[in-house]
Amino acid sequence: MGKDKLRRYRENESLPNVIQPGRPVPEEVFKWKGKWAKEYFGNMGKLILELGCGKGDYTLGLARRNQKDNFIGVDIKGARIWRGARTALDDGLQHVAFIRSPIEWLPHFFAQEEVDDIWITFPDPQLKRKRTKKRLTSPGFLDHYRRFLSGEGLVRLKTDSAELFEFTNEVLDQEGITAEIKSDDVYAQADLLPPEVSAITTFYESRFLAEGKPIHYVAFNPHKRS
């Protein structure tokens, strides 16, 4: 492991906007569970997560566009989170935080219906068949999200992967969920989508666009099943 990465890991321990809960203990209640907005952020704004946030491009972009709500980026890679956390502090974004954790652990850290929206931006599509359950829109992950996402909250997937987009829509069909909105080419249909879908461009998204790849988007409420 490089010295720079080690330095970032150490610095994360002292950054006020980085939370590293560690493996949850079943009998313990995480201190911010059910209290994120009121006690951690000190307001009553909505709580929006970005899962697999990397360096937090989308978390930061959403926070810059919306000063009244609260944004948390989640990733297991500490060196990536460090970059987003440092930028948030440097830019005075006090309504931004980062959690270093596997996504599977999140129901231990958030109370039922505590989260208002979930963004999943350019995740690893996990294209090998044996890794289907690792896809962040697989049925198992939807079950996780239902444990802490508001009854009116949306899961919003933005991806360059046609395979992941198709897989997600197949899962929705299987579970009897109707997408609230979807597009197989975000920038060709930007006027039909929420502005934050096309107004925020991540580092990797810029590369995909330069390669001529269309960007896909689907938003759905996992609670609303027929």
Residue partners of 133: CB distance under 8 A and separation at least 6: 140
Mark whether 124 is an active-site residue: yes
* Candidate list 124, 143, 173, 185, residue with the active-site label: 124
DSSP helix/strand/coil, 74: strand
d(CA 17, CA 6): 18
Residues linked to residue 75 through DSSP beta bridges, in sequence order:
100
d(CA 96, CA 182): 27
Return the C-alpha torsion angle 7, 9, 13, 14, nearest 10.
Answer: 40
Counting other chains too, the contacts that 39-46 makes at CB distance below 8 Å and 24 or more residues apart are 40/97, 41/70, 41/94, 41/95, 41/97, 43/68, 43/70, 43/95, 45/69, 45/70, 45/95, 46/70, 46/116, 46/117
Return the C-alpha torsion angle 143, 146, 152, 158, nearest 10.
Answer: -50
Q: Which of the residues are catalytic?
A: 124
